[in-house]
Amino acid sequence: MGVKFNPFTSKLDIVDSPSGEFSDIELALGTQTAPSLSFTGDPNTGIYSPGADQVALTTAGSERLRITSDGKLGVGTSSPDTNLEISSSNSKVRITDNDSASSGNCSLEWAFSGGRNGYMGYGGSNDLYIWQELNNKIIFGTNATSALAIDSSQRVGIGTTTVNANARLHTVGGNILVQGNGGANTASLILAPGSTPEDGVSIAVSYTGSGSYGPLKFGTGGPERARIDSSGYLRLSANSLGIQFNGDTAAANALDDYEEGTWTPVMEGTSSAGTGTYTQQIGSYTKIGNRVMFNCRVAWSAHTGTGDMFISGLPFSVGQFSSFAARVSGMTVSAGKFYVDQTSNKLVIEETLDTSADFIISGQYRI
């Protein structure tokens, strides 16, 4: 074997003398601190063989890369378990595209034989893509268990990989939390049949400060329709038209109000109102829709009014075509002489006002 200068290539050729045929080069195995192929002035950087059918690269006397006998590539490890394994106390892999951010693409691709099947990377719009090219799912997992799946129809499953065909979001074994970030923000769940969320149905709760939260609000088509407050009351808003029962859709049959309260009955004379000295003066009412049911007790020991009797203070104005029914205890009132007057908004008793009396009235009227 010998070395000669090749004038055609301007290189040194190693040949098997005297035949002139090219020959192999055999090197010692070397070590990571003294590789068999190194560089002038840098003897601990180069190539060596750590064992049969293996090759390694070393720098500064430490092995950096190894190709094992079965073709696995290890970076920072001498025993890779996969085709490529990178091991370090701060392992990072960077893929850099030298094009501008607005025009380049930078991705990691997966492929079976026949072409690309999926990739993850950045597109020209600086969006990050996780892309499934096949008609199959994308599955994310934690703790060796499937956690989230997106199927080929863009349905999302949480806690399941078999998403219900009628659901866009299917969750198994847990709750769904929609959380605002405090301040004046509102956490909302909006169900919109089209592309405009304002046309849909909303369920929302707002932060009211000091660790407190506002009522649970329900809306349709934008406005709030009802709410459940922190005390558990269900309240219809001013934008609600009421409650309809048994599938009835007629607006006139909607229950649009319910209220309970108290009122103060005041006895007056029809000729002169006067003033009374009361020993009892209490009243209560229940309003359901346009019907008011009331009762009261009025007792006085002296009164300066004259004429027949008025009782004012009704909780709601009397309707134009109001029907009226009442019962009086403690005095005798002739038929037809007890009614509610729409003009004065008072109860009328066509009996003379006594200087003292005690009676109970209960009745109802339409507003």
Q: Is the peptide bond preceding residue 18 cis, with omega within 30 degrees of 0?
A: yes
Q: Does residue 170 contact residue 164 with C-beta atoms inside 8 Å?
A: yes
> β-pairing, 324-329 with 266-269?
unpaired
The per-residue pLDDT for 204 is 85
- pLDDT reading at 36 higher than 80: yes
What number of H helices and E strands is found in the chain? 0, 31
Q: Does residue 58 contact residue 46 with C-beta atoms inside 8 Å?
A: yes
- pLDDT category at 181 given cuts 50, 70, 90 is low
Contacts of 69 (CB under 8 A, 6+ apart): 51, 52, 53, 54
> How do the residues of the chain divide into helix, strand and coil, expressed in percent and rounded to 5?
0, 50, 50
**In terms of C-beta density within 10 A (0-12 exposed, 13-18 middle, 19 or more buried), how is residue 220 classed?**
middle
What 3-state class would DSSP assign to 183?
Answer: coil
What single string gives the DSSP state of each residue in 93-143? ------S-TTT--EEEEEEETTEEEEEEEE-TTS-EEEEE-SSS-EEEEET
The per-residue pLDDT for 3 is 54
Q: For the chain, give the percent of residues with pLDDT over 70.
A: 87
Taking the alpha carbons at both ends of the chain, their separation in whole angstroms is 122
- pLDDT reading at 182 higher than 70: no
Sheet holding 145-150, edge to edge: 138-142, 145-150, 156-158, 169-171
Mean pLDDT, residues 207-233 taken together? 81
Contacts of 203 (CB under 8 A, 6+ apart): 188, 189, 216, 217, 218, 219
Torsion of CA 303, 309, 312, 318, to 10 degrees: 180
Q: Which residue has the higher pLDDT, 27 or 43?
A: 43
- pLDDT category at 53 given cuts 50, 70, 90 is very high
pTM: 0.55
Q: Does residue 259 contact residue 286 with C-beta atoms inside 8 Å?
A: yes
What would the two tokens of residue 225 be?
A: 């329709």
